[in-house]
Amino acid sequence: MRRQAPEDRSARDEDHLTETTERGAFILARCSCGWAGPARRARAKARADAASHPGNTVARDVSGPAA
């Protein structure tokens, strides 16, 4: 996933779009603004991190298959 430079972002990208992604045994929440939550072992906690991020408009789960 390529990060866009701030000048490349459109006005629509000002919304905070969060997602959760798996990294090995951990899952973390990330936002289009560059914010990333702490690595968690519990998916529910990572989803809660994403949902509580200020300005969050949409949260999506992009986790891979359960291991």
Residue 51 lies in a domain: yes
Residue 55 lies in a domain: yes
Residue 49 lies in a domain: yes
Spatial distance between the Cα atoms of 46 and 14, rounded to a whole number of angstroms: 22
Residue 7 lies in a domain: no
Residue 27 lies in a domain: yes
Residue 31 lies in a domain: yes
Domain count across the chain:
1
Better-predicted residue by pLDDT, 31 or 66: 31
Residue 24 lies in a domain: yes
Residue 26's pLDDT is what? 96
Range of the domain at 26: 16-61
User: Which one, of 41, 26, 34, lies nearest residue 55 by Cα?
Assistant: 34
pLDDT of 8-63, one tens digit each? 444 445 678 899 999 999 999 999 899 999 999 999 999 999 989 888 766 566 65
Instruction: Please say if the pLDDT value at position 67 is more than 60.
Output: no
